[in-house]
């Protein structure tokens, strides 16, 4: 059986087995008319037919709230089973992470062992607040300790550099996997900010001989392993590396809960269609 999230276990989502898109709520179509916020948070999950993957004719395997860890994990499992001709990977923001879920029975092989923490703070740990926790309100054992762990993780452990490294590590592993299966693919980022550390692009640290080893050596070296020609960006006067969030903000087409709306998805689909076909 193909290893997909629970709400995709039927074959209804697989309208085109030769073209599959993996991602989070941005590619899912969260807040579009047929995927309202209320339905998503209640667990009534069905990717929008107005999302950019649907407009391109792809099977949409995106899951709201996904971290890059989860996007990679689902992509590897599904593509190993189905071996589609084309894959699109819509990466999330680096600060999200996948960790063991304290509410899961570790002895239950059918349980979802993973849990996503973090939110769209876009790599700025000073903006983190425990109320932004993805699964806030969910009752888990020792919830006070769990909240404290998340708070400590973002305020003490997490940094822009660590987020960038994990993002690149996920990208590299996914690229190696898809290439090993001879699957054609493209990748996108949510925003140009995904590629920045302290408002400076990852690529601009290449010649930083002072900080290279002490601060971001692993980021720079891992970045060199990435095939950046597989990424599709939108260039404008602000940046060469824009994603769907940047376009949505430019169009003033962002929903109440922070997701791009129909005009943006349509524009983005047209851009990707021109770049991939």
Mean pLDDT of 232-242: 94
Name all contacts of 238-245 with Cβ < 8 Å and 24+ positions apart: 238/192, 239/192, 240/192, 241/189, 241/192, 241/195, 241/201, 242/191, 242/192, 243/188, 243/189, 243/190, 243/191, 243/192, 243/194, 244/26, 244/52, 244/90, 244/188, 244/190, 244/268, 245/26, 245/190, 245/191
**How far from 164 is each of 60, 71, 110, 159, CA to CA, in Å?**
26, 16, 32, 9
**pLDDT class for 216, splitting at 50, 70, 90?**
confident
pTM: 0.88
As a whole number of angstroms, the distance between CA 54 and CA 142 comes to 41
* Residue 223 maps to a domain: yes
The yes-or-no verdict on residue 182 having pLDDT over 80 is: yes
Q: Which residues of 95-114 are buried (b: 16+ CB within 10 A; e: fewer)?
A: bbbbbebebeeeeeeeeeee
* Residue 174 maps to a domain: yes
* Residue 255 maps to a domain: yes
More confident: 49 or 106: 49
pLDDT at 275: 79
Containing structural domain, residue 141: 6-276
**How far from 259 is each of 31, 95, 122, 185, 265, CA to CA, in Å?**
6, 17, 14, 24, 10
In this structure, are residues 245 and 29 in contact, taking their beta carbons and an 8 Å threshold?
no
**pLDDT class for 112, splitting at 50, 70, 90?**
low
| Bridge partners (DSSP) listed for residue 21 | 60, 88
* Residue 1 maps to a domain: no
Lowest mean pLDDT among 31-45, 159-173, 237-251: 31-45
* Residue 81 maps to a domain: yes
pLDDT at 14: 86
pLDDT at 130: 47
* Residue 175 maps to a domain: yes
**pLDDT class for 48, splitting at 50, 70, 90?**
very high
Read off the pLDDT of residues 51-95 as tens digits, 9 standing for 90 and up.
Answer: 999 999 999 999 998 999 999 999 999 999 999 999 999 999 998
The yes-or-no verdict on residue 191 having pLDDT over 70 is: yes
**pLDDT class for 8, splitting at 50, 70, 90?**
low
* Residue 125 maps to a domain: yes
* Residue 96 maps to a domain: yes
The yes-or-no verdict on residue 231 having pLDDT over 50 is: yes
pLDDT at 205: 87
Read off the pLDDT of residues 113-151 as tens digits, 9 standing for 90 and up.
Answer: 787 887 654 444 444 454 544 444 445 555 778 778 888
What are the phi and psi torsion angles at 233 (to 5°)? -115, 170
CATH of residue 163's domain is 3.40.50.1110
**pLDDT class for 34, splitting at 50, 70, 90?**
very high
What are the phi and psi torsion angles at 204 (to 5°)? -80, -5
Report the number of distinct structural domains present in the chain.
1
The yes-or-no verdict on residue 104 having pLDDT over 70 is: no
Q: Where are the alpha helices (DSSP H) in the chain?
A: 25-28, 37-41, 52-55, 68-82, 143-152, 160-180, 217-225, 244-250, 262-276
């Amino acid at each position: 059986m193909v290893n997909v999230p629970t709400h995709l276990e039927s074959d209804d989502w697989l309208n085109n087995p030769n073209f599959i898109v993996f991602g989070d709520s941005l590619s899912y179509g969260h807040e579009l008319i047929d995927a309202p916020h209320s339905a998503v948070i209640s667990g009534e999950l069905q990717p929008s037919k107005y999302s950019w993957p649907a407009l391109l004719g792809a099977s949409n395997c995106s899951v709201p709230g996904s971290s890059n860890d989860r996007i990679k994990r689902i992509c590897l499992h599904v593509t190993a089973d189905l071996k589609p001709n084309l894959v699109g990977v819509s990466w999330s923001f680096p600060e999200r992470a996948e960790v063991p879920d304290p509410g899961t029975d570790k002895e239950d092989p059918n349980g979802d062992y993973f849990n996503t923490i973090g939110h769209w703070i876009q790599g700025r740990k000073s903006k983190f607040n425990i109320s932004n926790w993805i699964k806030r309100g969910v009752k888990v054992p020792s919830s006070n300790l769990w909240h404290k762990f998340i708070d400590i993780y973002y305020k003490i452990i997490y940094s822009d550099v660590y987020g960038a490294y994990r993002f690149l590590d996920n990208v590299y592993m996914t690229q190696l996997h898809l290439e090993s299966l001879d699957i054609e693919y493209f990748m996108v980022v949510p925003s140009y900010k995904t590629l920045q550390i302290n408002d400076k692009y990852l690529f601009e640290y290449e010649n930083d001989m002072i900080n290279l080893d002490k601060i971001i050596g692993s980021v720079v070296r891992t970045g060199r392993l990435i095939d950046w020609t597989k990424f599709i960006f939108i260039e404008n006067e602000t940046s060469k590396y824009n994603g769907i969030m940047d376009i949505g903000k430019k169009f003033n087409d962002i929903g109440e809960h922070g997701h791009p709306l129909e005009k943006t998805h349509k524009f983005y689909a047209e851009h990707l269609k021109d770049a991939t076909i």
